[in-house]
Amino acid sequence: MPITDSTVIQLKLAQIEGRESAPAGCLTAMRLYHDLLLSMCDRLEFIADTLPVPVNITECQVVTQDLLPSMTASHQFEEDRFFMDARLVLKGGCALDDTIARLCEEHREDQFFAEEICEEIRGLILGGGQKNAEAMGYMLRGFFGQMRRHIAFERDFLYIPMTEKLIRL
């Protein structure tokens, strides 16, 4: 199996998660998870940009192998650890709880969308999915655009405020 960006990031995350329990370690891991997901968005954008020409099979295989496990690991970490630390550090009350509940629901939607994306990309690999490259490109752009907005929101409203608050301690 080739070493990909996501493989390297996952190895770094395993090291961080294994030895860090303080909020600073949580923030480092969350940044790496965001980087991992943004890397997947870049890969999807590359695929979308190359349509309708024959797809890069290796790139498509990497995406179908890494997208769902990367998202699942990231979402699990957020829900089990990052959001808990955000509540402790930011002390946001009901408004923060509502925001976190919304982000968790977005995780479920993203997961379902990612499953559809992987199915479509597998169809491209097998040659049966290039009937409507424009629709496929639109689907990919909708997904990675949504993911980038989600990550930007988490960074702006959770990650950065947590970092700033911890620096002041």
SS (H, E, C) the chain: CCCCHHHHHHHHHHHHHHHCCCHHHHHHHHHHHHHHHHHHHHHHHHHHHHCCCCCCHHHHHHHHHHHHHHHHHHHHHHHHHHHHHHHHHHCCHHHHHHHHHHHHHHHHHHHHHHHHHHHHHHHHHHCCCCCCHHHHHHHHHHHHHHHHHHHHHHHHHHHHHHHHHHHHC
pLDDT of residue 116: 95
pLDDT of residue 40: 94
* Count of structural domains, the chain: 1
pLDDT of residue 16: 56
Q: What tens-digit pLDDT sequence spans the chain (169 residues)? A: 344 565 555 555 555 555 555 777 888 889 989 999 999 999 999 999 988 877 788 889 999 999 999 999 999 999 999 999 999 899 888 999 999 999 999 999 999 999 999 998 998 888 765 567 888 899 999 999 999 999 999 999 999 999 998 887 6
pLDDT of residue 128: 60
Domain range spanning residue 30?
A: 5-168
